Chains A and B, each alone.
Chain A
Amino acid sequence: DQQVKQNSPSLSVQEGRISILNCDYTNSMFDYFLWYKKYPAEGPTFLISISSIKDKNEDGRFTVFLNKSAKHLSLHIVPSQPGDSAVYFCAASATGNQFYFGTGTSLTVIP
């Protein structure tokens, strides 16, 4: 039972444009959400997070939006750069013990 879903396995965006990666979850008890970025043959690296008391968190070119009523979060990257090309995973937790990850979205930024 997939509690965190990333329904788009891939996304292509032109350099300089906005990339929007989406994530849906089913468990209303989740209270902390994270985005990770993964390059081939490497482990995921932490990108940005948001707690359920907020609906937006921004860090440079990266912004995460949380819509609790829709159980939906999104990651916006603007402007997109070729170095952003990677697989992006969203993750959610209710307890801080178990983290549930999505299946990832592969982003390609075209120069």
Chain B
Amino acid sequence: GAGVSQSPSNKVTEKGKDVELRCDPISGHTALYWYRQSLGQGLEFLIYFQGNSAPDKSGLPSDRFSAERTGGSVSTLTIQRTQQEDSAVYLCASSRDGSYEQYFGPGTRLTVT
């Protein structure tokens, strides 16, 4: 079946602009995660959605970052007033209810100039 998809695959934006990154999880997966990986770093947790529960936003680095998940499926990560330090690969993952095993998308490479 189809895996996790993310769009766009690459995004170049000017400092100060807003960007939206999209994630389509695997159908039926109730949990959805957003991570980012900066150059030379590990994956940094950003936000976690589980079913209809309130999301765990504890990893969001600032109030410029927000995410929503509509209808328990597609998720959008929004970064407002982008800064150069936001440049990274943003990864989305989903998992089945009760499973720790996450399935990752290919990521969106964001470059802020």
Contacts and interface: CB of A to CB of B under 8 A. Distances in A.
A46 B102 contact: yes
Nearest to A32: B100
A100 B48 CA distance: 13
Nearest to B99: A96
Interface string B74-113: 0000000000000000010100000011111111000000
A41 interface: yes
B100 A49 contact: yes
B100 A89 contact: no
Contacts, number: 55
Given A97-B50, A97-B56, A98-B48, A43 B104 contact: yes
Given A43-B4, A100-B45, 15 more contacts: A2-B42, A36-B104, A41-B106, A46-B103, A49-B101, A89-B43, A98-B45, A98-B59, A99-B33, A99-B45, A99-B102, A101-B35, A101-B42, A103-B41, A104-B42
